[in-house]
Amino acid sequence: MQMQHERRLLLRGEIVSLLQLPEEKVQQLVDTRQILPIRIAGEERFDSKDLFQLIDAYKMTAARRVA
Confidence class of residue 31 from pLDDT cuts 50, 70 and 90?
very high
Amino acid at 33: R
Confidence class of residue 6 from pLDDT cuts 50, 70 and 90?
confident
Which strand (E) or helix (H) includes residue 17?
A: helix 12-19
How many structural domains comprise the chain?
A: 1
Does 3 reside within a domain?
A: no
Does 2 reside within a domain?
A: no
Decide if pLDDT at 33 tops 50.
yes
What pTM did the predictor assign?
A: 0.80
Q: So what's the pLDDT on residue 1?
A: 40
Mean pLDDT over 3-22 rounds to 89
Does 1 reside within a domain?
A: no
Q: What is the CATH number of the domain that holds 57?
A: 1.10.1660
- Residue 43, domain extent: 9-66
